[in-house]
Amino acid sequence: MRPRKSRTGAIILAAALLALAIKGFFLDLAVVDGPSMLPRYRQGDVVLVLRCAYGLRPPLGLPGAYFLRWAQPQVGEVVVAASPGGGGAVIKRVAERGPLVLAIEGERLRGGHLDLGLEAGEAAILGPSVRLPDNSVFLLGDNLKESLDSRSYGPLPVDSLAGRILGGPLFGPRPPRGLKA
């Protein structure tokens, strides 16, 4: 009778360790908080994060650089990054990656693939140019009017990225009965 209990315990322990390894190093879930990625992602949507998209990093969101890096974020990818202000993470789109200098020309931010109109006052905040060092990204929300992004906090190091979002939301809040989404 004892061998069966210890075998069951070993299976449960192995399954728990496997689940922890998957969450720690490969896949994680994130909940969208705020309107900055509308219309693609809404408040409350749950998304799948590929933590190993760019390399192997410390598990479970612990701080630190990549142990091993095999890819760089690409322009257009939606990523999860450590919030520059601390206290969580942000979901944004990679608008540019360094090394690159973005120039302010009138009320436009230009450089590389980017040609972005700026709201009144944003040019003054950014200065005459924005330098993206090597291994850095310039992040933007899809809903520019509601997004706090690299226009406010500048470029972020690639090491601050927790991973890439895979596809659309897995699930999210449902509209009240009788209303269409």
CATH fold of 26-170 reads: Umud Fragment, subunit A (2.10.109)
Asked if the model's pLDDT at residue 177 lies above 60, the reply is no
Listed residue (106, 121, 173) closest to 151, CA to CA: 121
Asked if the model's pLDDT at residue 176 lies above 80, the reply is no
What is the pTM (predicted TM-score) of this model?
Answer: 0.83
125-136 pLDDT, tens per residue?
Answer: 888 899 999 999
Give the pLDDT score at 3.
Answer: 60
Classify burial at 19, counting beta carbons within 10 Å of its beta carbon; exposed 0-12, middle 13-18, buried 19 or more: exposed
Percent of the chain with pLDDT over 90: 50
* pLDDT band for position 179 (cuts 50, 70, 90): very low
Classify burial at 157, counting beta carbons within 10 Å of its beta carbon; exposed 0-12, middle 13-18, buried 19 or more: middle
Compute the mean pLDDT over every residue in the chain, rounded to the nearest whole number: 86
Reading the block at residue 178, the tokens are 């009788």
Q: Is the dihedral of CA 164, 131, 123, 153 positive or negative?
A: positive
- Residue pair 153/23 in contact (Cβ under 8 Å)? The answer is no
Listed residue (154, 138, 132) closest to 74, CA to CA: 138
Give the pLDDT score at 100.
Answer: 96
What mean pLDDT do residues 60-70 have?
75
Asked if the model's pLDDT at residue 180 lies above 60, the reply is no
Asked if the model's pLDDT at residue 1 lies above 70, the reply is no
Give the pLDDT score at 174.
Answer: 58
The full set of domain ranges for the chain reads: 26-170
129-164 pLDDT, tens per residue?
Answer: 999 999 999 999 999 999 999 998 999 999 889 899
